[in-house]
C-alpha cells in the first residue's frame, strides 16, 4: 500500500525546491514539517548568497535576481542588502578579512529567508505538492533494508521514495545509514536577534571576534551579522567534542559577558531591541554516501562537516527531484538506481563547503597566540577570494601571489587553515 509516490521530510529550502520540481512533473508528493507554518527559521542563519561559476548563477532583472539553475526569482522585497564586508578580529585587536567594493555587481546579497520560504512553499503548492506543517516525523520505515516511508504522529505513511531535507538534525540520514561513524565534533550556536538598530553604512556586514579571553570558554567565537540596515544578530559558536553543554554558566550568560567586553557589540546591543533568540547544533561529519535504497538526502542533512548553504540546499533539492523522477519512471528505487546523485560528494560545491567549515573549525581550535600570528600574516590584504566560497579554487593561485615574508614565516599555521 503506497500513500504517495514521494515523501519529503522538511519544508526548508531543499525540501520545498524538491517538492516543486516533483509536483511540476505531476508526481504525487507530500511534505511534512514539524514547524507550525511556512516562513519560520528554526536556526540562526546569516542569509548570505553568492554565485559559484558554472553551478550557481544569477541574472539581474527589473523584478529581482533570478537564480537560474533552480528557476527561482528572488524578488526585490526578498533581497535585504548587499553587504560587502566580512572581518575577523583577533584577541590582540588585529583584524583581517575581505571588503568587496561593489557587492551588487558581484551579486553577493542577503536574502529575507522567511519571505523566500513562504514563496517556495506557495510555488510548490501551486504545482500540486501537498504540504503538512505541524507534523513531526519520528522515524523512517525500513523493511528488508529498503526505506518504505515514515512514521509521523504515530501513523505509518508509505511511499516509493523518501527525500530528507531535515536540516542539521541528520536523524534520518543516520538512520538510513548514510554516515558510517559518529560526528567528530559539534558546533553549538546561539543567537540573539536585534531590531530597531538604524545601522550606519559602515556597520553593515559581518564581524567575527575570536579568542578565549573574550568568551572565557575554549574554542569559541562571537559573530555580529547585520540584516539589512535595521536588524542584526549576535551569535556565539562553540566547538565541542560532545553533544552536550557542560560549562558552568548558560550559553546566554557567556554571550552577554562577551558582548559587554566589546564596545561595538555593547553599543549595538543597547541600541537595539532583542526580539528573538534561537540555537542549533551542527554535527561535524561527512557522509559516505547520499542515497540508499528508497532514500535520498539533501542540503544540511548530508553536507560535509555540518552544513551546506542556502543556494546549495536549493540546488540539491532540484537534483534530488530529478533523480527521484528517473527512479519513478523505471520503478527502480534501489541504491544503484539512485547512486548517480552521489556525484555531489566529489563536487566543487561540496569542496567549497568543506573548505569553509574547515577554516572555521581551525580558527576555533587555534590558541590566542596563533590567532594573533595568523592575523599578523593576513592583515591589510583583501582576502576576498578566501571567503567567497565560490572562489576557493582561486585561493591556491592567490596564495602564490601572497608569498610575502610574513606569510612564509607563518606557513605552518596557514597550512592548517587551508
Ligand atoms: C549560524 C548559521 C549561519 C548560516 N549562515 C549562512 C549564510 O550566511 N549563507 C548561507 O548560504 N547559508 C548559511 N547557513 C546555512 C543555511 O542556513 C543552511 O545550509 C540551509 O538552511 C539548509 O537548508 P535545508 O533545506 O537543508 O535545511 P533547513 O533550512 O534547516 O530546513 C530543514 C527543515 O526540516 C524540518 N524538520 C527537521 N526535522 C524534522 C522532523 N523530524 N519532522 C519534520 N520536519 C523536520 C525543519 O523544521 C526545517 O523546516 C548558516 C547556518 C547556520 C547554522
User: What are the pLDDT digits (tens) for 21-49?
Assistant: 999 999 999 999 999 999 999 899 999 99
Helix (H) or strand (E) holding 413: helix 411-417
Of 100-104, 117-121, 284-288, 317-321, where does mean pLDDT reach its minimum?
Answer: 100-104
Give the CATH fold of the 4-47+112-181+287-346 domain. Answer: FAD/NAD(P)-binding domain (3.50.50)
Residues 385 and 398 sit within 8 Å (Cβ to Cβ): yes
Nearest to 102 by CA among 88, 82, 86, 87: 82
Mean pLDDT rounded to a whole number for the chain:
92
pLDDT at 379 over 90: no
Q: Average pLDDT of 265-293? A: 96
Of 73-82, 168-177, 328-337, 356-365, where does mean pLDDT reach its minimum?
Answer: 356-365
pLDDT at 301 over 80: yes
Residue nearest (by alpha carbon) to ligand 1 atom 34: 10
DSSP tally for the chain: helices H, then strands E: 14, 21
Atom of ligand 1 nearest to the CA of 110: 8
pLDDT at 54 over 70: yes
Residue nearest (by alpha carbon) to ligand 1 atom 18: 309
Locate CATH 3.50.50.60 in the chain: 4-47+112-181+287-346
The answer to whether the CB of 32 is under 6 A from ligand 1 is yes
DSSP, collapsed to helix, strand or coil, labels residue 242 as: coil
Query: Given the DSSP bridges, would you call strands 64-67 and 72-75 parallel, antiparallel or unpaired?
Result: antiparallel
Q: What is the pLDDT of residue 389?
A: 52
Q: Which three cell numbers stand for residue 45?
A: 542563519
Atom of ligand 1 nearest to the CA of 237: 1
* Count of other CB atoms within 10 angstroms of residue 51: 20
DSSP, collapsed to helix, strand or coil, labels residue 318 as: helix
| Residue percentage of the chain with pLDDT more than 90 | 77
Q: What is the pLDDT of residue 412?
A: 77
Give CA angle at 240 (41, 177), nearest 5°.
70
Mutation choice for ligand 1 from 7, 31, 34, CB with most ligand atoms inside 8 A? 34
Evaluate the CA torsion angle 212, 215, 218, 223 in order and state its sign.
negative
Distance 12 CA to ligand 1 centre (A): 6
The answer to whether the CB of 9 is under 6 A from ligand 1 is yes
The answer to whether the CB of 51 is under 6 A from ligand 1 is no
Q: What is the pLDDT of residue 416?
A: 76
Q: What is the pLDDT of residue 401?
A: 59
Q: What is the pLDDT of residue 391?
A: 57
Summarised one tens digit per residue, pLDDT across range 200-241 is 999 999 999 998 889 989 999 999 999 999 999 999 999 999
Locate CATH 3.30.9.10 in the chain: 185-284
Q: Average pLDDT of 312-339? A: 98
Distance 356 CA to ligand 1 centre (A): 17
Q: What is the pLDDT of residue 386?
A: 63
181 CB-near residues (< 8 Å, 6+ apart): 285
The answer to whether the CB of 221 is under 6 A from ligand 1 is no
Residue 392 pLDDT grade (very low, low, confident, very high; cuts 50, 70, 90)? low
Q: Average pLDDT of 13-17? A: 98
Q: What is the DSSP letter of 129?
A: -
Mutation choice for ligand 1 from 131, 157, 227, 309, CB with most ligand atoms inside 8 A? 309
Q: What are phi and psi of 58, to 5 degrees?
A: -120, 150
The answer to whether the CB of 165 is under 6 A from ligand 1 is yes
Q: What is the pLDDT of residue 266?
A: 97
The answer to whether the CB of 153 is under 6 A from ligand 1 is no
Distance 266 CA to ligand 1 centre (A): 29
| Residue percentage of the chain with pLDDT more than 70 | 94
Domain 185-284, CATH among 3.40.50.280, 3.40.50.150, 3.40.440.10, 3.30.9.10 = 3.30.9.10
Helix 310-330 × helix 348-365 angle, to 10°: 140
pLDDT at 65 over 90: yes
Summarised one tens digit per residue, pLDDT across range 125-137 is 999 999 999 999 9
Residue nearest (by alpha carbon) to ligand 1 atom 50: 45
pLDDT at 163 over 80: yes
pLDDT at 292 over 60: yes
Amino acid at each position: 500500500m503506497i500513500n504517495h509516490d514521494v515523501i519529503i521530510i522538511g519544508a526548508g529550502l531543499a525540501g520545498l525546491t524538491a517538492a516543486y520540481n516533483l509536483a511540476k512533473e505531476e508526481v504525487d508528493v507530500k511534505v511534512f514539517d514539524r514547524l507550525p507554518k511556512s516562513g519560520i527559521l528554526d536556526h540562526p542563519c546569516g542569509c548570505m548568497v553568492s554565485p559559484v561559476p558554472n553551478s550557481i548563477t544569477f541574472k539581474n532583472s527589473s523584478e529581482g535576481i533570478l537564480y537560474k539553475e533552480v528557476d527561482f526569482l528572488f524578488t526585490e522585497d526578498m533581497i535585504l542588502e548587499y553587504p560587502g564586508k566580512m572581518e575577523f578580529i583577533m584577541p590582540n585587536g588585529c583584524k583581517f578579512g575581505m571588503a568587496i567594493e561593489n557587492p551588487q555587481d558581484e551579486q553577493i546579497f542577503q536574502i529575507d529567508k522567511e519571505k523566500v520560504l513562504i514563496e517556495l512553499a506557495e510555488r510548490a503548492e501551486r504545482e500540486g505538492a501537498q504540504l503538512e506543517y505541524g507534523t513531526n516525523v519520528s522515524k523512517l520505515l525500513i523493511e528488508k533494508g529498503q526505506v518504505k516511508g515514515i512514521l509521523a504522529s504515530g501513523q505509518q505513511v508509505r511511499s516509493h521514495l523518501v527525500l530528507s531535507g531535515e536540516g542539521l538534525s541528520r536523524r534520518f540520514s543516520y538512520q538510513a545509514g548514510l554516515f558510517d561513524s559518529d560526528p567528530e565534533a559539534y558546533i553549538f550556536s546561539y543567537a540573539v536577534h536585534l531590531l530597531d538598530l538604524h545601522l550606519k553604512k559602515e556597520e553593515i556586514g559581518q564581524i567575527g571576534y575570536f579568542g578565549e579571553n573574550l568568551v572565557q570558554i575554549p574554542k569559541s567565537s562571537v559573530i555580529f551579522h547585520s540584516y539589512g540596515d535595521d536588524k542584526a544578530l549576535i551569535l556565539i559558536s562553540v566547538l565541542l567534542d560532545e553533544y552536550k553543554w557542560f560549562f558552568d554558566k548558560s550559553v546566554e550568560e557567556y554571550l552577554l559577558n562577551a558582548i559587554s567586553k566589546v564596545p561595538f557589540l555593547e553599543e549595538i546591543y543597547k541600541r537595539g531591541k532583542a526580539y528573538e533568540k534561537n540555537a542549533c547544533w551542527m554535527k561535524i561529519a561527512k557522509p559516505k554516501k547520499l542515497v540508499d535504497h528508497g532514500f535520498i538526502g539533501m542540503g544540511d542533512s548530508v553536507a560535509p562537516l555540518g552544513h551546506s548553504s542556502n543556494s546549495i540546499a536549493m540546488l540539491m533539492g532540484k537534483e534530488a527531484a530529478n533523480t527521484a523522477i528517473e527512479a519513478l519512471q523505471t520503478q527502480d528505487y534501489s541504491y544503484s538506481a539512485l547512486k548517480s546523485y552521489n556525484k555531489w560528494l566529489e563536487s566543487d560545491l561540496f569542496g567549497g563547503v568543506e573548505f569553509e567549515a574547515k577554516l572555521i573549525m581551525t580558527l576555533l581550535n587555534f590558541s590566542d597566540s596563533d590567532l594573533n600570528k595568523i592575523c599578523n600574516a593576513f592583515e591589510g590584504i583583501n582576502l576576498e577570494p578566501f571567503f567567497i566560497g565560490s572562489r576557493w579554487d582561486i585561493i591556491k593561485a592567490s596564495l602564490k601571489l601572497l608569498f610575502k615574508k610574513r606569510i612564509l614565516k607563518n606557513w605552518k599555521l596557514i597550512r592548517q587553515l587551508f
